[in-house]
Structure 1
């Protein structure tokens, strides 16, 4: 055996021994999550960045103004795993059973979808905490992520800041995450939000009684949770008598709006009990831009659809306006929906 091959065998053997040692484990997602690129700034309080990928409910990849990238682990929170097995014992009161684990997996999927809905493509403010570590063992930045949803008031039980809502706290308050037991300055507020979510049986805390009241990851009819803090939006911005809602609007796309029309969008929902046939309904703004839902398009109960301003291939949950420039006015505008020339829904912001 030559020297290089022998060394390789020894290295493999050492790794094998280490992998069996207590306390040594490598989660697939965390192993592949990257740290900062070489030119990444030393992120401090108030550093802004654009979210380029939502890895899961509590991990995102961002790009800084200089083009460098980083992976951010949301400080102080832990959402259920979606790419690995969950340990129910980490979630107070959730039974350590197959049903409990399956329920947590469904809750983790919902947390990831919620994070994508609010953070994907968004400009966020990263806030580090002197009381906590700056990076974890995977070299991910540990930070509070502040985001400012357009047109939405901050719920009374959540913290508003000059640069938006503390999204980490929002995950806890809506029952999509537990508080990660660690040292950080905002822990008291997070624990209070967690206690409230637990008392209300909100979100993942419904997994304490899996298999009842839709706690298996559905609302009892096979649809995703649409109650108990697990709907895509905590409350619609506007609702029509037909059940059509405006769940969210992102009017200010990252960078130059006209060069990034798909970065602005409106999320519509159906909170009615029946399917909503939207074919031919018209969406317009106050400036005279208009879009018609394709013929035959329908939105089922509890479903949402994102209408992006730019171009792309329509799917069941994403539609494209087809504009080569921005539509929604950053300073203020109105989302108007008409059916047969009559206004059925209007939401003004600004």
Structure 2
């Protein structure tokens, strides 16, 4: 039930000072309230009046930059013109939900229009998904992705000032799902700042921020070399030239909810952002790649760890860059680095055990087998979680054309293998240590 309470009369006026907007009350549904907006505080916060009492309300689902920062004033001015002095509907599933500083948090609608959605569509704010008040999460993430694709508002990467290194193409790669238990592997979550340009990139004054207000400022002397990256680990550790540590005691990325990460330059421009799971560009651009694996090593799996391996097979006529993707066999994953790629009509093999990486051979450096003989699933995923290719073992036998893979290390004798092809078909191949293409 929605009841307008802008001008309380009689007994309600007498009770006004004692009744909280979002406290228990019999006269209105505390989860849905119509009230007057009396003052805009900033781009996502305002004061509302009910029963003569003014409450500060935090909007759900969006996040404005802070007062004094770039874009903050534009969001505040727009919100003031749109809702100040007007009756809006405030909704939440849980009347007790709060955000920053314990403020009551609500979605805001005016005459049936979703105000948060309008601000995201215009690029005035960024999305702020909520774990329980999640009814509009997907919609808001989609709107933000569309605004980003247009380069408007906060997504205009030189709106606050041009540079530094405006044409560097700097970008983010986020590992948001740590291997195994995230809470026990906090440094298994990390953020890469990658510099694809030919010049060093000075990160002094640059900031990484998540969907909420948590941020990390890069210190003076932090430099990303050409074609390389600086990795910000979420947990604790000792900084060096390449590895930095946020020194959090707990993971910050919600694997199920979805999250956004932003890279701000010293002017306050968002130079790149990363959102998972996939919202807009959910297209598989790796259709020439297929997967193969050997889940059952020859002899004892525990003493022949490199007898387990995973193949990436490039069936196309162009080299494919792998940075921004990863191989997953839950709960384990192998994330590709900026220099990793696979040549045309080639096979890249990833051994489970220890070894020295080379052009066509990589090692996960595990000390125990990870592929289950009785049944296993391997997926190639993009960094936002989009599944690019999937291979399930065991599968029915079909005829295959055998294509040689890279040479095996001495500890990896000939054994059976399985490989996938375009479209998801797969086959078991006996007595061959080879990537296979099955017709």
Q: State the TM-score, normalizing by the size of structure 1.
A: 0.28
Richer in strand (by share):
2
Instruction: Please tell me whether Structure 1 or Structure 2 has the larger radius of gyration of its CA atoms.
Output: 2
TM-score, with structure 2 as normaliser: 0.24
- The structure with more helix, counted as a fraction of residues: 1
